[in-house]
Amino acid sequence: MVEVQQAVNAELDRVGSVLDELGARFAAAGHALHLVGGPVRDAMLGHIKNDLDLTTSAMPEQTEKLLKGWAEATWDMGRAFGTIGCRKGEWDIEITTYRAETYDPDSRKPEVDFGDNLAGDLGRRDFTVNAMAVSIPDREFVDLFGGINDLAARVLRTPGRPEDSFSDDPLRMMRAARFAAQLGFDVAPEVVEAMTAMASRIEIISAERVRDELVKLICSPYPRKGLTLLVETGLAALVLPELPRLAQERDEHERHKDVYEHTLTVLEQTIEQEDRLGGPDFIARFAALMHDVGKPKTRKFGDDNTVTFHHHDVVGAKITRKRMRALRFSNDEIDAVGKLVELHLRFHGYGTGEWTDSAVRRYVRDAGDQLLRLHILTRADCTTRNTRKANRLRRIYDELEARIAELAEKEEMESVRPDLDGAQIMAILGIKPGPVVGEAYKFLLELRLDEGPQSYEAAEAALRAWWEQRSEG
């Protein structure tokens, strides 16, 4: 314990000037204040973040008064849950009154009751590694539930019976999977057993809260670990049913690859390329996770012992968009992931790599602002163990990216549009606004994609020829 205290103190020295000042203010007013939860865990792991969670005996209105004149900014969006937030320098701090909260069996929202002691507050937290505290400002370490031992063993365990914990807040089952993915920890057998038995309880939790945990899990360092736990406990069948359906696609006759394992490998290979995106990227990762969800609905076996998944890209995009709407994702996120799922096979539709300029332009046009993510997904989707085939596909895609860069430099392909705008079309053809202008615009766009940039004169001549042919028809 002494070594742990020293390690925590060394990390807390970095924030000592802030926490010590704050602790002194609360102590002078007769209130206890403790750093608690994730920040204590992270301090023990040696990487405390800039978001600090504290718990106190003070009521929210008392906390607010104590922060006045000290914090640079305060907010009270969490007041109903006993939380007052503030900013001091580079630190975002949330201070929450000791509390005990439970869920009504049929309610999506917790009933919040304020507690009167630290032990009760810690005992109601999700996992022992998040139920440790450090008193401020004297820095006394508090571990009532063996969190330090579980942290050393890299295991997630609940302070009390997991059944009670998950009954109080079913979202903790999702958090178990998220922390497994985030920390790389194992989940204690009794916790897994409770998750499996109580999985259906997750249905009382709002889609938004489930979505937020799912995003955190997928953007964690070890998402496979968390996703596997969701599938094995039955939680995935309720929050992301497309994933376990892929696991059901395992083919006992080995006529095609294991879709579920392939999907997790594609996710991991996407993560390996994320330096191109500047770090963890939910859109790219979720597209990798969902790219083959259309396969269960499109699988067909042929008489020659072959299996096909025709149009699984289009079907998968529809399934993906429906699931993301159910999870309350934004329209922009839905459009981005849906587009990537729909386009993930496009590269393979161009044969052996003899890409024309027209094909390259269309590829870029269809990908739009998701082009870089499409590059990553397409490369990640190659999981063949055939080294020669993998190297050939990699080489062809290298060539494609080089072609895109070359044409982009010459033609500004990011903003491909016809060489004549709507006003020019109407002036040349002597027509008024209407559907015909859209037809002409589409014709000129196809011409631009097929043949590249046109001069005004060439575009005008092509438009007049199209108009004459249309009029004759």
Read out DSSP for 44-80? HHT---SEEEEEESS-HHHHHHHHTTTSSEEE-TTGG
Residue 4 pLDDT class (50, 70, 90 cuts): low
Residue 303 has pLDDT above 50, yes or no: yes
- Give the model's pLDDT for residue 15: 79
Between the ranges 42-51, 255-264, 380-389, where is the mean pLDDT highest?
380-389
Q: Which residues contact 468 (CB under 8 A, 6 or more apart)?
A: none
pLDDT mean over 96-124: 78
Point out which residues pair with 132 in neighbouring strands: 143
Burial class (CB in 10 A: 0-12, 13-18, 19+), 388: exposed
Give the angle 361-362-363 at the CA atoms, nearest 5°: 90
pLDDT over 70 at 318, yes or no: yes
CA 325/CA 300 separation, integer angstroms: 28
pTM of the model: 0.83
Architecture of domain 2-147: 2-Layer Sandwich (3.30)
In tens, the pLDDT along 196-249 reads: 999 999 999 999 999 999 999 999 999 999 999 999 999 999 999 999 999 876
Confidence class for position 253, pLDDT limits 50, 70, 90: very low
Instruction: Provide the β-strand partners of residue 156.
Output: 187
Band (pLDDT 50/70/90 cuts) for residue 257 is: low
Q: Pick the residue with more confidence: 432 or 33? A: 33
d(CA 307, CA 305): 7
Among residues 306, 315, 223, which one has the least CA distance to residue 270? 223
Give the C-alpha separation, 358 to 346, whole Å. Answer: 14
Architecture in CATH of 154-240? Orthogonal Bundle (1.10)
pLDDT for 364 equals 87
Q: Tell me where in the chain the CATH 1.10.3210 domain(s) lie.
A: 251-415
pLDDT of 404: 86
Average pLDDT over residues 158-168: 94
Which residues make up the CATH 3.30.460.10 domain(s) of the chain?
A: 2-147
pLDDT in tens, 48-103: 788 999 999 999 999 999 999 999 999 999 998 899 999 999 999 999 999 876 66
pLDDT at 450: 80
Query: Which CATH code of 1.10.3210, 3.30.420, 1.10.357, 1.10.3470 fits the domain covering 251-415?
Result: 1.10.3210
* CA-closest candidate to residue 284, choices 176, 411, 374: 374
Written as one letter, the residue type at 284 is: A
% of the chain surpassing 90 pLDDT? 59
Mean pLDDT of 140-144: 93
What local confidence, expressed as pLDDT, does residue 252 receive?
A: 44
Residue 308, CB half-sphere, CA atoms under 13 Å: how many? 6
Residues 6+ apart with CB under 8 A from 184: 154, 221, 222, 225
